[in-house]
Amino acid sequence: MNKIKQYNTNNLQAVKCGLFLIFIFSSLLTFSYNIKVEIKNCPEYYIYFGKHRGPDFTVIDSVQAVNGLVEFSGKKNLETGVYFIVIPPQTRFDFIIADEQNFTLKTDTRNILGELISNGEKQYQIFLDIQKDIAEINKKRSQLEMESEFYKMYQKDTIPYITAKIDSLNQIQFDIYETYKTKLDKSTFVYDILSILSPFHVPDSIAKLQYEEPAIHYRYYIDHYLDRINFDNPSILNTPEFVFHKLLADYCYYFFDVRANKLDDAYHDMDNLIAKTENKPEFRQYILSYLVSRYEKPQDLRLESFLVYLYRNYFMINRPDWVTDQAFDIMKLRIESVQYNLVGSIGKNLVLNNQNGDSVSIYGLESNYKVLFFWEPSCDICTDAILKLKEEYSDLEAHNVQVFAVCTNSNEINDWKSFINDKQLNWINAIDIRNSSNFKIYYGTYKTPRLFILDSNNKILTKDVKPDYVYEYIKSYEEHLEKERGRFDFMFGE
């Protein structure tokens, strides 16, 4: 009896040990996500799996296809978002991942999108079906756009007809979005995507104010243009560039960029945009990062003011924890180089000495325009640029433009004087012998050469234009002023 008891005890312990080992082994084989991809007629290429993030993307994994089968798996849940599969050399398709992360995708290389199906959540297949419908529209639209380019040259009266057909296709595309939204729960990821892609709706009561009260009409757009975004769902950031990122870019263009002459109003609306991200760290990081990137080196230099505003209000006072020391130092250096020489601001006065030791200053110049040029004799690019500026000088003088050329290195005073004499630079040449004027801070001369054009009131009109373009710029600027003056005279009869 004792032997039987002993045997049962030993047997029970063995069973427990076996179950424990099975549990350990099975846990090692358990994945948080497991995505199978079955691809008919697929060579044994490495297949790539990745995630969208606006204009950027991340490659998560790559696996070689065997008999058309690929399996991607991992022990950490994937974020909800739009993902992609790349089949070399140039084939890609998008799909979504939300709550269900164990599913299969099937397709055929001979018709990737047409044969693409998913056995995941309902919204997974709907997302694929949307792509198929839009692909058909894009095909027709591309054909019409090609025809439009052709008929522009040979039969221009056909263009309105083609344009009408393209507009019709655009409306069909929007109708498709609305149709699929009716098939989805409002809490789903695809519903949030379609809401962003749908056109902005303006109530009739506001639309009729476009000409009667344009300010009210415009204000409605500013206040409601982003209502399509579900700011409670940060997963919407994990979408291709044409979704959230494009809407953000459009908003910045229409409501910030075009108001460079009304900066205070634009600052207010920029604050309102950022306020939408309060207690939403992923949105805040994305939007602030985008704004800094957009306005760091804008094509319209007036927009640098936005960069300075962002730095002073959202980085300098309360630095975000996601900004590294290196990134912060780079941003700080950038701000220091532009904050005192923003286009549209009044340039700082510099009181320096010329080659004879006499005092000269920017504010002391009496001319229609002032060209400030910062350079140093040991810089080949600088000397090439200053000689090109000299070629323009006779035209500039005739236009009542004075040149104020500043040597940025007081240690090169002898070379500076020699260059002036050798090249017969007969404009105002200046140097800060005692390094006391702070010109590096005021005009950002951490790099050289630098060129600024000021008007007679010392307002900075532009900067860093090429020396051989200075005269053309001033002529274009005066033509613009003349047109504005003519418009004013027409409106007010003066």
What pLDDT digit, counting tens, does each position of 347-389 carry?
999 999 999 999 999 999 999 999 999 999 999 999 999 999 9
Q: Which residue has the tokens 């975004």?
A: 229
Q: Which residues of 124-153 are buried (b: 16+ CB within 10 A; e: fewer)?
A: bebbbebeeebeeeeeebeebeebbeeeee
> What is the per-residue pLDDT for 7?
46
Report the amino acid identity of residue 100.
E
**Six-digit token pair at 195?**
């809401």
Q: Which residue has the tokens 């630095």?
A: 319
What is residue 456's three-state secondary structure?
Answer: coil
CA distance 289 to 336: 19
Q: Are 415 and 376 a contacting pair, CB within 8 Å?
A: no
Fold of 360-481: Glutaredoxin (3.40.30)
Count of CB atoms within 10 A of residue 80's CB?
A: 19
**Six-digit token pair at 288?**
């602030």
Q: Which residues contact 466 (CB under 8 A, 6 or more apart)?
A: 385, 388
Q: Are 73 and 34 a contacting pair, CB within 8 Å?
A: yes
Instruction: Count the alpha carbons within 13 Å of 278 in the hemisphere toward its beta carbon.
Output: 5
Question: Mind giving me the DSSP string for 480-492?
Answer: HHHHHHHHHHHHH
Quote the distance between the C-alpha of residue 330 and its chain's center.
Answer: 18
Cα torsion 146, 152, 158, 161: sign:
positive
- Residues in the chain with pLDDT values less than 70: 1-30, 485-494
> What is the per-residue pLDDT for 26?
43
Backbone torsion region of residue 371, taken as left when φ is above 0, otherwise alpha when ψ lies between -120 and 50, otherwise beta:
beta
Q: Which residues on adjacent β-strands are paired with residue 240?
A: 54
Residue among 445, 442, 447, 452 at smallest CA distance from 339: 442
> What is the per-residue pLDDT for 25?
41
CA distance 416 to 423: 11
Q: What are the domain boundaries of the chain?
A: 1-29, 33-119, 121-199, 206-338, 360-481
> What is the per-residue pLDDT for 13?
55
Q: Which residue has the tokens 């004013």?
A: 488
Pick the CATH number of 33-119 from 3.40.50.970, 3.20.20.70, 2.60.40.180, 3.40.50.12780: 2.60.40.180
Run of H or E residues at 205: helix 204-207
> What is the per-residue pLDDT for 487?
55
What pLDDT digit, counting tens, does each position of 112-129 carry?
999 999 999 999 999 999
Q: Which residues contact 418 (CB under 8 A, 6 or more apart)?
A: 377
> What is the per-residue pLDDT for 11?
53
CA distance 122 to 129: 11
